[in-house]
Chains A and B, each alone.
Chain A
Amino acid sequence: MMDEQRAAERQAATRDAEPAIRLEGVHKWYGSFHVLKDINLMIRRGERVVVCGPSGSGKSTMIRCINALEAHQKGRIIVGTTQLTEDVRTIERIRREVGMVFQQFNLFPHLTVLDNLILAPTWVRRLPKREAIARAMDLLERVHIPEQAHKYPGQLSGGQQQRVAIARALCMKPEIMLFDEPTSALDPEMIKEVLDVMVELAEAGMTMICVTHEMGFARTVADTMVFMDGGAIVEMAPPSQFFSAPKSERTQKFLSQILKH
């Protein structure tokens, strides 16, 4: 009941918001291998989308297309009001507005945590260094590791590194956050500390697309669940409906596999 009520409230809140990301008929091939098949997806401002599906279903590829880490070959991707093209300027503009968190953290190992955070704001946004440091320390506070600011990433645990990675992306003040399996490379004990940070972020109203297998997390924060298989979106529904009454047989099978434990 709680879930449904919350979902209804959330839906009312985001229903009339402007679209943040639109994917229209997006196709992608690796050589002759068809990785993304006619992806159509609209995400409104403040909406939280969780994407799940078996490995190789194209879910990571899809969100990597949104900030042009992968190029798509057909269809349109529109972030905010900007349509993604091959133009480097356009790509860089979109990347400034879209934060990304990777499975392998991808922190810069030769820089301290603080320098990891302030690098892009100072170089890309031309923020004065003092302001960038203030913002970075604020964010480290939010991800609960201000005391690690002057350490190097190699000295932190996986969970701490991933929280730094989230803070690094947030330091650019992005409109949208993409999470590519953020907890898949973590020890079980550390998953919670990262998910907690992500829940807090969701509650603060961030537009998020999250590729993850953490179904508990999905239930808590998702406004929309997307299930992908074989490069196509098979099912898209609010979590209450998605988990209790999935329409497609493929979704049912997937859920029964991962929820068994």
Chain B
Amino acid sequence: MSDERRLQETPQQIFAREEEPVDGVYPETVQPPRRRFAGALSWARENLFSSVGNALLTVFGLYLLWRILPPLADWTLLQSVWSTDDPAVCKAAEGACWALITQKYRFILFGLYPFEEQWRPALATALFIAAGAITAVPAFWRRALIGLWAGVAVICAILMWGGVFGLPFVENAKWGGLPLTLILAVVGIAAAFPLSIVLALGRRSELPAIRAVCTGFIELIRGVPLISVLFMASVMFPLFLPEGVTIDKLLRALAGIALFTAAYLAEAVRGGLQSIPRGQYEAAEALGLTYWQKTGLIILPQALKISIPPIVNQFISMFKDTSLVIIIGLFDLLTTAKAALSDPPWRPFYIESYLFAALIYWMFSFFMSRYSLYLERRLETGYRR
């Protein structure tokens, strides 16, 4: 079609017009989008060698990989020793001494728990992880979960302490390794989370006294390092107790961790609360909902959903921070990984031991991270368009 004819068209004609091919090629608007990556070669050209700078960076990157990967594979897999009870064999080898893990894994995982009884913390941990896995599936989100967790808590307590059903009693000073880390993290989170919601709501309260108490607590706790909180809980707190009264060390550590985490979580929750528009409060109020109905049914569900990323961030951070209990003499996973090296002939293989502990920490943290992403998508109801 000539340009002149085009200019004389009425709108009706323009809409009715079908694009005609010009020399067998349709005008650009109706062509399918150009395929940008046809084959690996052109992909590489477009992404890795699009300019001189990029090409140099690509070559440099490849060089680094070439320098790093083969030695790493050598050390971790090809030249490593997987099982021996003789440290000398490890010493002679070039690679990693994974034999340390196969020799010492029970100590790293369960610490000083009596060797013959270690099936008990193992079973407790397995039960606990199973309950966690069930809870993670939305299809199981119903009231019965509370019962499940209560049951799991009782069974785990019986398994860990014993003293009934013919299980020998094991005092909690002997607990250690992964179960202890999980107890600190999960009981800590379970206590800190509700407390943090109360603190966040309190900090936004219209009552000055409540607001002052909550703000004061949050700012005080956030102002000191976790180590000092733990230290106070462990060393100073007993000094204030009347003579003869003792509170278990593990319990004191848990309280310290929970209070510390609650202060941080409260700020994450407060962020969520602040992002809820005023209209939501007004709509809830106009319907005659009470303060607690409004908060529990309208505000918190939305605020907590928004706060998932910072909340999970805090969970992950506190999960790893539980390793600080070493300073008050609790044998958590990182401490047992270190203590496994106290056997002199195995002492040189500290990297392997720490890597093993790191892998366990990483698996739990990575799960939390991915799960929080899943949860965010799952709870999305399409109002952020």
Q: How far is the CB of A82 from chain B (nearest CB, A)?
A: 13
State whether the Cβ of B289 lies closer than 8 Å to any Cβ in chain A.
Answer: yes
B288 x A152 contact (CB < 8 A): no
State whether the Cβ of B31 lies closer than 8 Å to any Cβ in chain A.
Answer: no
Given A102-B283, A108-B298, the answer on whether A120 and B289 have CB atoms closer than 8 Å is yes
Which residues of B are found within 8 Å of A153, using beta-carbon distances? Answer: 383
Closest-by-CB residue of A relative to B282 is A69
A119 x B297 contact (CB < 8 A): yes
Which residues of B are found within 8 Å of A168, using beta-carbon distances? Answer: 287
State whether the Cβ of B302 lies closer than 8 Å to any Cβ in chain A.
Answer: yes
A110 x B305 contact (CB < 8 A): yes
State whether the Cβ of A123 lies closer than 8 Å to any Cβ in chain B.
Answer: yes
A124 x B283 contact (CB < 8 A): no
State whether the Cβ of A104 lies closer than 8 Å to any Cβ in chain B.
Answer: yes
The CA-CA distance from A165 to B297 in the complex, in Å, is 17
The CA-CA distance from A107 to B289 in the complex, in Å, is 14
State whether the Cβ of B301 lies closer than 8 Å to any Cβ in chain A.
Answer: yes
Closest-by-CB residue of B relative to A165 is B283
Which residues of A are found within 8 Å of B285, using beta-carbon distances? Answer: 69, 95
Given A109-B383, A119-B297, A154-B385, the answer on whether A172 and B287 have CB atoms closer than 8 Å is yes
Which residues between 138 and 186 of chain A lie within 8 Å of chain B, taking CB atoms? Answer: 152-155, 165, 168-169, 172
Closest-by-CB residue of B relative to A121 is B287
State whether the Cβ of A256 lies closer than 8 Å to any Cβ in chain B.
Answer: no
State whether the Cβ of A96 lies closer than 8 Å to any Cβ in chain B.
Answer: yes
State whether the Cβ of A67 lies closer than 8 Å to any Cβ in chain B.
Answer: yes
Closest-by-CB residue of A relative to B283 is A106
Which residues of B are found within 8 Å of A107, using beta-carbon distances? Answer: 283
The CA-CA distance from A154 to B385 in the complex, in Å, is 8
The CA-CA distance from A109 to B379 in the complex, in Å, is 11
Given A110-B305, A154-B383, the answer on whether A124 and B289 have CB atoms closer than 8 Å is yes
The CA-CA distance from A121 to B305 in the complex, in Å, is 25
Other-chain residue from A98, A99, A123, A152 in contact with B297 (beta carbon distance below 8 A): A123
A123 x B279 contact (CB < 8 A): no
A109 x B297 contact (CB < 8 A): no
Given A69-B282, A102-B279, the answer on whether A110 and B288 have CB atoms closer than 8 Å is no
The CA-CA distance from A168 to B291 in the complex, in Å, is 19
State whether the Cβ of A114 lies closer than 8 Å to any Cβ in chain B.
Answer: no
Q: Which of B287, B298, B302, B384 has the most CB of A within 10 A?
A: B287
B302 x A155 contact (CB < 8 A): no
B288 x A124 contact (CB < 8 A): yes
B280 x A69 contact (CB < 8 A): no
The CA-CA distance from A102 to B305 in the complex, in Å, is 24
The CA-CA distance from A108 to B285 in the complex, in Å, is 12
The CA-CA distance from A93 to B298 in the complex, in Å, is 20
B293 x A123 contact (CB < 8 A): yes
Which residues of B are found within 8 Å of A119, using beta-carbon distances? Answer: 287, 289, 297
Other-chain residue from B280, B290, B382 in contact with A155 (beta carbon distance below 8 A): B382
Which residues of A are found within 8 Å of B38, using beta-carbon distances? Answer: none
Which residues of B are found within 8 Å of A203, using beta-carbon distances? Answer: none
State whether the Cβ of B286 lies closer than 8 Å to any Cβ in chain A.
Answer: yes
Given A109-B302, A119-B297, A152-B383, the answer on whether A92 and B286 have CB atoms closer than 8 Å is no
A69 x B305 contact (CB < 8 A): no
The CA-CA distance from A9 to B284 in the complex, in Å, is 37
Closest-by-CB residue of B relative to A103 is B279
Q: How far is the CB of B308 from chain A (nearest CB, A)?
A: 13
The CA-CA distance from A191 to B264 in the complex, in Å, is 46
Other-chain residue from B290, B302, B379, B385 in contact with A92 (beta carbon distance below 8 A): B290
Q: How far is the CB of B273 from chain A (nearest CB, A)?
A: 14
The CA-CA distance from A104 to B281 in the complex, in Å, is 13
State whether the Cβ of B29 lies closer than 8 Å to any Cβ in chain A.
Answer: no
State whether the Cβ of B381 lies closer than 8 Å to any Cβ in chain A.
Answer: yes
State whether the Cβ of A20 lies closer than 8 Å to any Cβ in chain B.
Answer: no
Which residues of B are found within 8 Å of A104, using beta-carbon distances? Answer: 277, 279
State whether the Cβ of A35 lies closer than 8 Å to any Cβ in chain B.
Answer: no
State whether the Cβ of A100 lies closer than 8 Å to any Cβ in chain B.
Answer: yes
Which residues of B are found within 8 Å of A120, using beta-carbon distances? Answer: 287-289
The CA-CA distance from A95 to B297 in the complex, in Å, is 17
Q: How far is the CB of A116 from chain B (nearest CB, A)?
A: 9
Other-chain residue from B288, B297, B381 in contact with A96 (beta carbon distance below 8 A): B288
Contact indicator per residue, chain A 63-95, by CB within 8 Å of chain B (1) or not (0): 000010100000000000000000010001101
The CA-CA distance from A92 to B279 in the complex, in Å, is 17
Which residues between 5 and 62 of chain A lie within 8 Å of chain B, taking CB atoms? Answer: none
A124 x B381 contact (CB < 8 A): no
Closest-by-CB residue of A relative to B280 is A106
The CA-CA distance from A110 to B379 in the complex, in Å, is 8
Q: Which of B301, B383, B385 has the most CB of A within 10 A?
A: B383
**What are the 3 tightest A-B residue pairs by CB atom distance, in nearest-first order?**
A154-B383, A109-B383, A106-B283
**Subset of 16 A-B contacts with CB under 8 Å:** A95-B287, A100-B286, A104-B277, A108-B280, A109-B383, A110-B379, A119-B287, A119-B289, A119-B297, A120-B289, A123-B297, A152-B382, A153-B383, A154-B383, A154-B384, A154-B385
